[in-house]
Structure 1
Amino acid sequence: GDISATSPAVIYFAPYNSSTRLVRSTDEGENWALTSGILPGYVTKVLVHPNATDIVYANLGSSIYKTTNGGSSWTRLTTPGSVYIRDLCFNPRNPAVIYATGYYYGASPYRVALIRSDDGGASWNAFYFDTSSTNAYGYSLAIDPNDTATVYVGGYRGSGVTTVYRSVNRGETWEELPFGIIGYYPYAIYISPANSNLILVAPYSYGIYRSTDRGQTWTRVATTAAVYRLTGAQGNSAVIYASTSNTVYRSQDTGRTWSVINRGLVSTPNYCLMTSPNRQSGVYVGTKCGLFSSTNYGDTWENLIADVYLSRVRVLALANDERTVYAECQDDGVYRSTDNGATWVRCPDFLSCGNIISIAVDPRNPLAVWALEGSG
């Protein structure tokens, strides 16, 4: 998901479905509506133009789509061939400039790819780097907010090494920084807006690493689970958030130490993380159980939009009272409604297993439910 930088009441949220319609709010998440345009695949990143809330970019991996009417219709952009895209972002000072990273699979071995558009996605320049003897991939991307010619890419080399690359000329040439951690995919990289020397990188399942010298040396500051996103509080550079495979963490000292902030959150993968552009304490996290928001730096959370509205419902069961309904959402547990589906509550997880394939409700007691999961 993403929030408009100049109109923070406008939020877009992408369900993770094979055919996707974005969900849009124009009142900071109080009310939501599905957009009408359908994207032909899983959306992994959404960018909202900071000066025009109807202009949105969506990454589908093998392609980038653009809408100029708030998601009513989409146009596939012509990006360089044989490039699979993992991450994309705007130049923070000029949204006509868009960067995307991933890997170029038109050569063997694969190479890290950085593509750049200077005209809002109408045309692209491509740069391929890391000429090692094994496949190399780009996974995460960050632009130095104080020097927008400087671009960082978090990568992974097929031999099992997490890598960090830097360009000081908008992606034209690249150097590999001395990171070299034996790890996995770095889904998240973060540069402090107050201090360009401060960089955080999160190799998958290997915690969070911190540098205070522009990537020349690194210190492991957290041993968290798999980190999907890193972002900072707007207007308070000391506060940084990390969303992981099972919770959300917060640092209040520029990444030196971290603590769990999950009061009101359901324990589930937290793929999407955003901070409010105009409310210093505002933060959003998207999970399989919906979109949650906090107005107090993550001390408490509220579910803004339930995943029943977004998910693929695979199993339904209706109780004899004709008001109680149970629904199983793919990869997202069981929900119950007691008002014919007007509102829904997620039932507590009862097994760490696969999807539920059948639900039966006791005809004499709508609170007694049997569920059969796929593993038996």
Structure 2
Amino acid sequence: MAHDASAWGGLFRSRDNGATWFPADAGLFIGGSIALSIDPRDPNHLLYGTDTRLLRSKNGGRDWVQEPGVQFAGPVYAVLFDQQGKATIASTANRIFFRDDNSGWTDTLAPAGAAPARAIVTGGKQQTYIAGEQGVFASTDGGRNWRRAGESLPDAAVASLVVVPGTKEKETVLALIRGAIWASNDGGATWEQRDVASAGARADALAFDGKLWTAVQNRIYASQDGGSIWAPVGNPLPERETSIRGIAAADADRTIVLTTHRGVMRSVDAGKVWSIIESTLPVHLEAGPLIRDPHDAATLYAGFSMTPYNELWRRATGGANLMAQLDPVSLAGAAALLISLIVLSSAGVRWLMRVRA
């Protein structure tokens, strides 16, 4: 059966900075593509979070295998390979899991509010950060243990989280919370709010691709100093109230690609003219994650979802997905109960047959 891009969500890949796109998960019929991470050691090794399961590919998306474990029998909201490619982290609706080369997946017992994570990112010195449901969470051991980062942040969902590289001693972590951008230069211990266009203007997205990018009031802005000073880029988008989820820039910032609730948009003249990319992409679905391949600067991945992304997050936090609300112990107990009922039913049938005989 052919993969009809107009009927399904899923993951798409471009090898030319967003000009043309092709399915990266053909044949899977994914309803919602939520998260993707690429192994820094191997461009063909992909970890893929969807609305129904966690998938892994070791040949660049030609074949996918469902990651084993009842903990991933449901939506997976964020995934990450560490900087060495030796460890992976994944978030379900209510748990953060860790795996390294020497062991299977284990529950990190992250504090309440960390899951469901909207993003998991790495910094220097094994620093790792979670964009949590109730603030930012940090790890200093590569993701095995977590703590809340900064009590001054609003106790709300972190929509985007990026790390701007700096020196070994200093990197800037930025979080987008309720439309406001917060920055930390001390590993998340303290935070300060940074305005973009005007005081109180709500930002839509936050990304780092050579420089820091955001979107405010239907327009793209860029910063080269970690978010202290912002400059508008090009013209506003042609459609008002466009919700922007991802930003990627190339060719000295002349080529800019956006994932939005209207699909993928692209400009080849530094934002002066914007166009919606259709062709092989879903036409009427929302685009969400936008990831650049660290091995090939011209390769981008974009995810689409049949269900609006805001609704996916509402289900994760509101209990609409019953599987996400069950931990592995509960699932194991339910399975044991089901097996016991089957055994008892079978024994009962045999007893009745003997009585009638």
Give the TM-score band, short-chain normalised: 0.5 to 0.7
Deviations 1:119-153 (A, max 9, x none): 49x9322212225xx89643332211x22x21111
Q: Within 2, Cα distance between the matches of 1:85 and 1:33?
A: 23
Which residue is 2:118 aligned to? 139
Q: Structure 1 or 2: larger strand share?
A: 1
Q: Within 2, Cα distance between the matches of 1:84 and 1:244?
A: 30
Query: 3-state SS of the aligned residue for 2:31?
Result: coil
1:274 aligns with 2:248: yes
Residues 153 and 26 of structure 1, relative CA distance in 2, 3 Å threshold: closer
Q: Within 2, Cα distance between the matches of 1:50 and 1:75?
A: 20
Alignment map for 1:13-24 (pairs within 5 Å): 19-24=8-13
Please point out which of 35, 57, 61 is paired with 1:71.
Answer: 61
Please point out which of 283, 287, 305 is paired with 2:260.
Answer: 287
Residues 280 and 151 of structure 1, relative CA distance in 2, 3 Å threshold: farther
How much does 1:202 deviate? 0.8
Please point out which of 164, 173, 176 is paired with 1:202.
Answer: 176
Query: 3-state SS of the aligned residue for 2:160?
Result: strand
Residues 80 and 124 of structure 1, relative CA distance in 2, 3 Å threshold: farther
How much does 1:311 deviate? 3.1
Which residue is 1:4 aligned to? none
Q: Within 2, Cα distance between the matches of 1:135 and 1:193?
A: 23
User: Structure 2 length normalisation: TM-score?
Assistant: 0.63
How much does 1:168 deviate? 0.8
Residues 175 and 51 of structure 1, relative CA distance in 2, 3 Å threshold: closer
How much does 1:211 deviate? 1.6
Q: Within 1, Cα distance between the matches of 2:58 and 2:247?
A: 24
Query: 3-state SS of the aligned residue for 1:81?
Result: helix
Conserved in 2, the CA contact under 8 Å of 1:190 and 1:199? yes
Conserved in 1, the CA contact under 8 Å of 2:54 and 2:75? no
Residues 280 and 96 of structure 1, relative CA distance in 2, 3 Å threshold: farther
Deviations 1:276-331 (A, max 9, x none): 5xx553543222444334567x544554722x64336xxxxxxxxxxxxxxxx468
1:118 aligns with 2:90: no
Q: How many residues align?
A: 272
User: Structure 1 length normalisation: TM-score?
Assistant: 0.60
Conserved in 1, the CA contact under 8 Å of 2:131 and 2:158? yes
- The gaps in structure 2 that reach 5 residues or longer are 288-357
Q: Within 1, Cα distance between the matches of 2:122 and 2:265?
A: 27
1:181 aligns with 2:153: yes
More relative contact order, 1 or 2 (CA 8 Å, 6+ apart): 2
Residues 34 and 61 of structure 1, relative CA distance in 2, 3 Å threshold: closer
Q: Within 2, Cα distance between the matches of 1:164 and 1:186?
A: 7
Which residue is 1:129 aligned to? 110
- The gaps in structure 1 that reach 5 residues or longer are 1-14, 105-112, 158-162, 313-328, 333-376
Alignment map for 1:132-171 (pairs within 5 Å): 137-144=116-123, 146-147=124-125, 149-157=126-134, 163-171=135-143
1:225 aligns with 2:196: no
Q: Within 2, Cα distance between the matches of 1:210 and 1:135?
A: 19
Q: Within 2, Cα distance between the matches of 1:244 and 1:99?
A: 31
Q: Within 2, Cα distance between the matches of 1:119 and 1:300?
A: 47
Identity of aligned residues (%): 18
How much does 1:253 deviate? 2.4
Q: Within 2, Cα distance between the matches of 1:50 and 1:283?
A: 24
How much does 1:179 deviate? 3.4
What is the root-mean-square deviation of aligned Cα atoms in Å?
A: 3.5
How much does 1:201 deviate? 1.0
Query: 3-state SS of the aligned residue for 1:129?
Result: coil
1:33 aligns with 2:16: no
Conserved in 2, the CA contact under 8 Å of 1:152 and 1:164? yes
Deviations 1:30-66 (A, max 9, x none): 4333353324320012334445444333211452212
Q: Within 1, Cα distance between the matches of 2:148 and 2:118?
A: 15
Conserved in 1, the CA contact under 8 Å of 2:56 and 2:66? yes
Q: Structure 1 or 2: larger helix share?
A: 2
